Amino acid sequence: MFALGVEFLMGRAIITRVDNREEPEWPPHPDRVFMALVAAWGEAGEDADQRAALEWLEKLPAPEIAVPLDVSTRTPFTSYVPVNDDGSPMGKKGPFGPMGSLPLGRNRQPRQFPAVAPASPTFFLQWEVDVPANLRPALERVCGLVTYLGHSASPVRMWVADQLPDDAPISLQPDDNRATVRLRVFGSGRTAYLKNRFDANLRPQPSLWQGYAPPRTESNADVIEGPFDPGLFVFRELPGNRRYALESCGIIADAIRRELMRRHGPNVQNAPEWLSGHAADGSPSKLSRPAYVPLGFVGHDHADGHLLGVAIAVPNDFEHTAELFRLLSAHDGKNPHEIDAGVPYLSMTVRNPHLENREIGQFDLELDERPEGRRQFTLKTFTWTNPSRIWTTVTPVMLSQFPRRELGTEDVIVKACLDAGYPEPVAVRVSSAPLVRGVPHSRAFHVKPRGGRPPRPLTHAQIEFPIRVRGPVLIGAGRYAGYGVCRPSHEDQS
Amino acid sequence: MPTDPTLSYDDLKAAVAGSSAAFRLTLKLEAVSPKVFPPTYEGGKYATEDRNINGQKLPCVLLDSVPSQANRMELALQDAIDGGLFQLPLVSVNFAAVDNPGIPKITSLQAPHRIADAILRDSTIGEGKKPAKFRESEIGKELDKLSTGYATPLLDYAPHCLVFGMWDSTGPRGGLGVKFARALVSEIIGVNAVAGVTSSSRIDPLNIRVNSGTLYKAKGGGWTLDSELAEKDPKTKKAVLLGKDGKPSEANHGNVTPDLVYRKDKNGNLVLGDSERPVMMVVFDNEQERGHKYVIRDERKPIAKGGFTIDYAEQTTVLSLPALRRLRFPAKSGEKSTPEGDNAARTYLAALGLLGATLAVEAGYDLRSRCILRATNVVTWHLLGKPGDADKPFVLDKAAAIKLYNDALAAVQKAKLPIHLEEIILTPSDDLVTLVKKSMELAAAEAGTEG
């Protein structure tokens, strides 16, 4: 590996954002460092070896960055600087005031010099490759020619380092999925582009943008595994369906269960307990079994809660995964979506038990085999499984017993967590109103009739565990049927 | 205790020729009075920030900015040249024609944009009926050829432009004119800055009261209590009051009630709160009577402007050596430079920068009213090499800095590079002289009416 080290010699940086001249840019963008290198190369005589080194550097992937993120911003202020296009001491409203020691006045215009004082004046761009021995001297020389970064009042020294010092750990990694900041990076051809723009007396345009995120701090020591396998089977909705809202979570789960039972065989009585959800005597099964998790579009400014897909979560100790997968793939291949036989695919007619089991539409799903990075946020596995201490319901928890005076709703939820195999929460907050943007009110959800008995109560909740728990987190009586699905708090990830 | 060596010409030359990054001066200063008043910016703001010092986050305040420090160094150089301590190529404009003792001349060390300044551009050089405009003269045409590969004309006529930076933005190439980034950067901050309050008051020894009389604007200037002798309004035919309401304070008499000094914006209005948006509070008043009465309150308070107490101040000055290494000095445009010539010229510029900084330190730190600092340590520069290498300390006082400069100057002359030590004096254009005269008259007239 190697790294480019940069030290702000004044202990602070005057460095302007590309999109807002009144705000400082921090962290410094990798392309800014590259442009300083190209400028140094150009002004010092355009050495051929140095250009070769820069052209090698520009082809490297986006670097990891070791930069102090703890910075103090100087109070933004406006300076008035004397202009030079007009030397007249007279303005429209009379003479300008004198300037310092100079008894003459001059028109002055506002300028901003936004500054930051980082906790440490040094930062590094790091790559996992080594500098080829033949290019290293030229790269070192061109680094030694760099005078400033940002404004000329921010002199720097720059060097090639073989390893990062212990007090400068990587603080940002290229990561589009979890990006907390977007930085300009350089790419192939940047040296030639910058040189051409300079020769044409044009300012360079900003280059590629890359998302950066702090490195994952997961150490498994402080993460507890949940009862379900974090590797979800994610199915995405196929075109041609009507839109289903999160409220339909129960009937969708039921439709999937029925479809899989149908594929298992004509005799429903033969369906195993893990599939039917009923014990041999017809009572609800106590076995842990696959859970059907509705993937609703939530937690975003425009979120409306509609289903983008469904995930199937299997318990950690589940022994029938192969059989389940066989059922998911067991279709005839004759379908409007041209999904080949043997590829997991579900096509169901959804019935609404509240409307005398009338058909309310078709729901077609296929296994989402795209890489995680190319899926919508809702369809990414980690959106539902990232370890977190705080989890908030997306579909309401179905309580297994009615709260009473001496047994509050919170207590029922604590018990539900323990029953489902999660640690005992340290805090539970319940609410009928949704706690995540785009989620419907708990009363909007359908509850399966229970043959004369009152339906189980539903409530939204926010649950705080004493330790980070890896998802999926599914709790309550309806956890296998789409209820009690929680989402990790993304503020709690770091 | 062994003292650090004085920076010699050979040390400096070796540093410039080598691969060291910079000379850095970190000078601890103490405030002479317990409180300092930093510069205020638009809206009465101070520039504050937090710095990590010895592992502790301390509030700091900017006491002197980069441009201000550069101006102080240039002035210190000008004063020393006027005192005959050394010679430096300079171009100046002679304003003797303006007949005002305030501006006998303006040199390229004083003009805001240095040798590219509009004052120099609007001046002429030489004698005769039709003297050449400065930028059209032999010297001016040399300046048009400037680039980092041919910095010789600036070495010849105004070398400080290569140390403090320059942008020839109004030359023949306009905004595309040559730019030299500054090689010397300096700034002073106050460390552990705690904001204070300050009060204003005036006790009139004559104890003149507000009601003691109405002041009128007298005919022919000044003021009078006799309305008969006052100026008359041409429309209403009434006597004109002095100032807004004819109070004695309009003529600077009477007491000023003691009060705190608050931040004011450029229009003289009090700045309320720290946020830009007003903070309105809706208060449910009169609740017991179930009267649904809402009171809207502005919770913002004026911000006191009272300077800071600081533990100490710190000046950081950096002379970037790569900035000088970019410059090349061929004897003529289009020719190749020699390594010896380049190095002599770069070393000379470094010596000039160090001299400017040293002279400014020796001139003291009377930064502005109620902001006087003084150095507590010897001036010790550190030569910064590669990270990990130990910084090399060198002391430098005024005498040593002048000797260093003169040695470097001799080396440039020995390398047969042009350096014009005789001051070039320009004559301002007639139009510029007229403008300056008119401006001075107007300013004087305004000053008269205010009192």
Find the mean pLDDT for residues B414-440.
91
Q: Which of A437, A376, A391 is nearest to A234 (CA)?
A: A376
Contact between B29 and B303 (Cβ < 8 Å) = no
Q: What is the DSSP letter of A412?
A: H
* A493–chain B nearest CA distance, Å: 26
Report the residue of A78, A81, A88 to disrupt the B interface, i.e. the one with the largest count of B CBs within 10 Å: A88
Say yes or no for a CB contact (<8 Å) between B112 and A74: no
A146 touches chain B (CB under 8 A): yes
Find the mean pLDDT for residues A210-227.
81
CB nearest to A95's CB, from B116, B322, B439: B439
A190 touches chain B (CB under 8 A): no
Residues of B with CB below 8 A from A124's CB? Answer: none
pLDDT of residue A483: 95
CA dist B262 and B301 (Å) reads: 10
Find, in chain B, the residue whose alpha carbon is nearest to that of A41.
B326
Residues of B with CB below 8 A from A38's CB? Answer: none
Report the residue of B24, B52, B123, B431 to disrupt the A interface, i.e. the one with the largest count of A CBs within 10 Å: B52
Write down the mean pLDDT value for chain B: 87
A161 touches chain B (CB under 8 A): yes
Pairing verdict, β A458-470 and A358-367: unpaired
Say yes or no for a CB contact (<8 Å) between B110 and A101: yes
User: pTM of this prediction?
Assistant: 0.71
CA dist A352 and B405 (Å) reads: 93
Please determine, for residue B398, whether its predicted confidence score (pLDDT) is greater than 50. yes
Find, in chain B, the residue whose alpha carbon is nearest to that of A73.
B49
Of the spans A164-173, B255-264, B281-290, which averages the highest pLDDT?
A: A164-173
Find the mean pLDDT for residues B264-285.
62
Say yes or no for a CB contact (<8 Å) between A153 and B438: no
Q: Which of A31, A27, A1 is nearest to A13 (CA)?
A: A27
Helix then strand then coil, in percent of chain A rounded to 5, is 25, 30, 45
Find, in chain B, the residue whose alpha carbon is nearest to that of A198.
B176
Burial of B94 (0-12, 13-18, 19+ CB in 10 A): middle
Residue A172 pLDDT level (bands cut at 50, 70, 90):
very high
Find the mean pLDDT for residues B406-424.
95
Q: What is the DSSP letter of A4?
A: E
Find the mean pLDDT for residues B288-298.
53
Please determine, for residue B127, whether its predicted confidence score (pLDDT) is greater than 90. no
Say yes or no for a CB contact (<8 Å) between B47 and A85: no
Contact between B419 and B412 (Cβ < 8 Å) = yes
Contact between A315 and A288 (Cβ < 8 Å) = yes
Q: What is the DSSP letter of A353?
A: G
Residues of B with CB below 8 A from A163's CB? Answer: none
Look-up of token digits 């300050």: B198
Name residues whose C-beta falls within 8 Å of residue A464's C-beta, 6 or more positions apart in sequence.
Answer: A389, A390, A425, A426, A427, A428
Please determine, for residue A75, whether its predicted confidence score (pLDDT) is greater than 50. yes
* Dihedral sign for Cα atoms in the order A328, A329, A332, A333: positive
Residue A479 pLDDT level (bands cut at 50, 70, 90):
very high
* Dihedral sign for Cα atoms in the order B371, B375, B380, B386: negative
Pairing verdict, β A102-105 and A78-82: unpaired
* Amino acid, res. B61: V
CB nearest to B106's CB, from A78, A102, A146: A102
CA dihedral B84, B89, B95, B101 (to 10 degrees): -20
* Amino acid, res. A7: E
Residues of A with CB below 8 A from B63's CB? Answer: none
Name residues whose C-beta falls within 8 Å of residue B181's C-beta, 6 or more positions apart in sequence.
Answer: A147, A148, A152, B165, B323
CA dist A396 and A445 (Å) reads: 8
E strands, B152-219, are 166-167, 179-180, 184-191, 194-195, 199-202, 216-217
Phi, psi of A443 (to 5 degrees): -75, -15
DSSP for B266-309?
TTSPBPBSSSSS--EEEEEE-TTTT--EEEEEE---BPB---EE
| Number of other CB atoms surrounding residue B148 within 10 Å | 18
pLDDT of residue A492: 47
Query: Considering chain B, what percentage of its residues have pLDDT values greater than 70?
Result: 92
* B314–chain A nearest CA distance, Å: 11
Residues of A with CB below 8 A from B60's CB? Answer: 117
DSSP for A250-304?
HHHHHHHHHHHHHHH-S-GGGS-HHHH-B-TTSSBP-S---EEEEEE--SSTT--
pLDDT of residue A339: 86
Find, in chain B, the residue whose alpha carbon is nearest to that of A92.
B439
* A127–chain B nearest CA distance, Å: 19
pLDDT of residue B297: 55
Residue A219 pLDDT level (bands cut at 50, 70, 90):
low
ipTM above 0.85, yes or no: yes
pLDDT of residue B356: 97
Q: Which of A287, A305, A462, A313 is nearest to A388 (CA)?
A: A462
* A437–chain B nearest CA distance, Å: 28
Say yes or no for a CB contact (<8 Å) between B185 and A101: no
pLDDT of residue B435: 87
Say yes or no for a CB contact (<8 Å) between A144 and B119: no
Q: Which of A299, A316, A4, A348 is nearest to A146 (CA)?
A: A4
* B124–chain A nearest CA distance, Å: 15
- Among B residues 372-401, those touching chain A with beta carbons less than 8 Å apart: 384, 386-387
Please determine, for residue B22, whether its predicted confidence score (pLDDT) is greater than 60. yes
Q: Which of B4, B71, B64 is nearest to B38 (CA)?
A: B64
Report the residue of A6, A43, A90, A162 to disrupt the B interface, i.e. the one with the largest count of B CBs within 10 Å: A43
pLDDT of residue B279: 47
Residues of A with CB below 8 A from B104's CB? Answer: none
CA dist B66 and B188 (Å) reads: 8
DSSP for A11-59?
SSEE-B-SS-TTSB--SPPHHHHHHHHHHHHHHTT--HHHHHHHHHHTT
Contact between B409 and B349 (Cβ < 8 Å) = no
CB nearest to A89's CB, from B111, B170, B436: B436
Find, in chain A, the residue whose alpha carbon is nearest to that of B75.
A101
pLDDT of residue B101: 62
Residues of A with CB below 8 A from B170's CB? Answer: 84-85
| Number of other CB atoms surrounding residue B319 within 10 Å | 29
Please determine, for residue B293, whether its predicted confidence score (pLDDT) is greater than 60. no
Please determine, for residue B88, whether its predicted confidence score (pLDDT) is greater than 60. yes
How does pLDDT run across B318-360, given as a tens digit for each residue? 999 999 999 999 998 889 999 999 999 999 999 999 999 999 9
Determine the 3-state secondary structure of B378 from DSSP.
coil
Residues of B with CB below 8 A from A101's CB? Answer: 71, 75, 110
CA dist B15 and B21 (Å) reads: 9
Q: What are the structure tokens assigned to B285, written together? A: 């008043």
How does pLDDT run across B232-271, given as a tens digit for each residue? 888 888 888 888 888 888 888 888 777 788 878 777 788 7
Phi, psi of B370 (to 5 degrees): 60, 35
CB pairs under 8 A between A and B: 167
DSSP for A105-162?
E--EEEEE--EEEESSSEEEEEESSPPPTTTHHHHHHHHHT--BSSSTTSBEEEEEES
Determine the 3-state secondary structure of A388 from DSSP.
strand
- Answer with the residue of higher pLDDT: A286 or A420: A420
Burial B379-409 (b: 16+ CB within 10 A, else e): bbbbbbbeeeeeebebebebebbbbbbbbbb
B187 touches chain A (CB under 8 A): yes
pLDDT of residue B450: 45
DSSP for B20-84?
--EEEEEEEEEESSSEE----BTTTB--EEEEEETTEEEEEEEEE-HHHHHHHHHHHHHHHHHTT
- Among B residues 293-322, those touching chain A with beta carbons less than 8 Å apart: 316, 318, 320, 322
Say yes or no for a CB contact (<8 Å) between B439 and A115: no
CA dist B60 and B312 (Å) reads: 10
Helix then strand then coil, in percent of chain B rounded to 5, is 30, 30, 40
Query: Considering chain A, what percentage of its residues have pLDDT values greater than 70?
Result: 98
Find the mean pLDDT for residues B185-206.
88
Residues of A with CB below 8 A from B43's CB? Answer: 77
Residue A218 pLDDT level (bands cut at 50, 70, 90):
low
Find the mean pLDDT for residues A178-206.
92
Please determine, for residue A412, whether its predicted confidence score (pLDDT) is greater than 70. yes
pLDDT of residue B352: 97
How does pLDDT run across B135-193, given as a tens digit for each residue? 999 999 999 999 999 999 999 999 999 999 999 988 888 888 899 999 999 999 999 99
Please determine, for residue A212, whether its predicted confidence score (pLDDT) is greater than 50. yes
Residues of B with CB below 8 A from A84's CB? Answer: 112-113, 116-118, 169-170
CA dist A296 and A312 (Å) reads: 14
* Amino acid, res. A182: R
B17 touches chain A (CB under 8 A): no
pLDDT of residue B281: 46
CB nearest to A78's CB, from B41, B187, B443: B41
CB nearest to A10's CB, from B48, B67, B318: B318
A166 touches chain B (CB under 8 A): no
pLDDT of residue A140: 95
